[in-house]
Copies of this chain bind each other. A is one copy, B any other.
Amino acid sequence: MSEVLVVGSLAYDSVRTPSGKADKSLGGSANYFSVAASLFAKVRVVGVVGEDYLDSDKKILLDRNVDLKGMQTVKGETFHWEGSYEKSLSDAITLKTELNVFAAFNPELPESYKDSRFVFLANIDPVLQLQVLSQAKEPLFVGMDTMNFWIDSKQKDLISVLKKVDIVFMNETEAKMLTQTRNPVTAVKRVAEMGPQYVVVKRGEYGSTLYSKTDGFFQVPALPIEDVIDPTGAGDSFAGGFFGLLASQCTARPTWIDLKRAVLAGTVLSSQTIQDFSLKALLRVDHINYENHLTQLKATISI
């Protein structure tokens, strides 16, 4: 088994959806990613929290054997995001972003993290993504996520990160935006031309597509879910399941088959996250119900 290093946000989210609301509940890309990935592998977190961050929230990760040596606690308040899915479960409307301690985040890798074989740069400033990557010694496989905000405001830096990663995870609309094309197939190919060997396009309720420059497309629909409560963290849970499975199975560079299996793991975990607020549903996933959901997913897509 290899280790997965993740750098991302540790946050408190206030979310409204058609099912209700959750105020200042645990969130952030690094939390969703770590909980998902830790089902399969040893996870190392790089991030920053304020003095208000609860010990019980740190304990959630510690209980899953996640290494928190890279989690800095600094004076001030934890990153707070407020959003609404009341209009559409497919698109969050951001109501407030309070960066707080995240504004001065200066990610540093503890010595013991530097040999991490798998590295995931969650959706943060591409300048910080580069800073983290430059501290890692010869990682085997590096992934990144990004969002429309960085495509708009820091595209040059974003393109620099794209050149250095093996795989990028993007929403379909973001892939179209970055490549300025309407066709999603053309978009994914153009993203790959910018650097990464592999691209995962996240299509929300329609599932995801993995593209490889050499192996073409692998498309997986989402699990059919009737009770979508809160879509927050679905993408990070996907990436966490994806990287966690890879790290648990690969000591060499992942093969196409490894990556296809990782897409299935990501699909299962993201489908669980959306069934409750915050990390609640994701935390209920254990090895037994993971295997059950995986079997169910396979049944809906096996030809």
Contact = CB atoms under 8 A, between A and B. Distances in A.
A219 B203 CA distance: 14
Interface in A258-284: 260, 264
A20 interface: no
Most buried by B among A219, A228, A302: A219
A221 B224 contact: no
Give the interface residue-count category, chain A: 20 to 34
Interface string A212-227: 0000111111001111
A207 B208 CA distance: 12
**Copies of this protein chain in the complex:** 2
Interface string A173-215: 0000000001111100100000000000001011101000000
A87 B300 CA distance: 33
B185 A226 contact: yes
B300 A217 contact: yes
Contacts of A58: none
Interface in A143-182: 182
A60 interface: no
A298 interface: yes
B224 A219 contact: yes
A30 to B, nearest CB: 29
Contacts of A260: 303
- The 10 A-B residue pairs with the shortest CB-CB distance, nearest first, are A219-B221, A206-B206, A185-B224, A217-B300, A185-B226, A217-B224, A219-B300, A186-B226, A183-B226, A219-B301
Interface of A: 18, 89, 182-186, 189, 203, 205-207, 209, 216-221, 224-228, 260, 264, 298-303
15 contacts: A183-B227, A183-B228, A185-B225, A186-B226, A189-B226, A203-B206, A206-B206, A206-B207, A209-B221, A217-B224, A218-B301, A219-B300, A220-B303, A264-B303, A298-B303
Given A183-B226, A189-B226, A219-B224, 15 more contacts: A183-B228, A184-B224, A185-B226, A186-B226, A206-B206, A216-B299, A216-B300, A217-B300, A218-B300, A218-B301, A219-B301, A220-B221, A220-B301, A298-B303, A301-B301
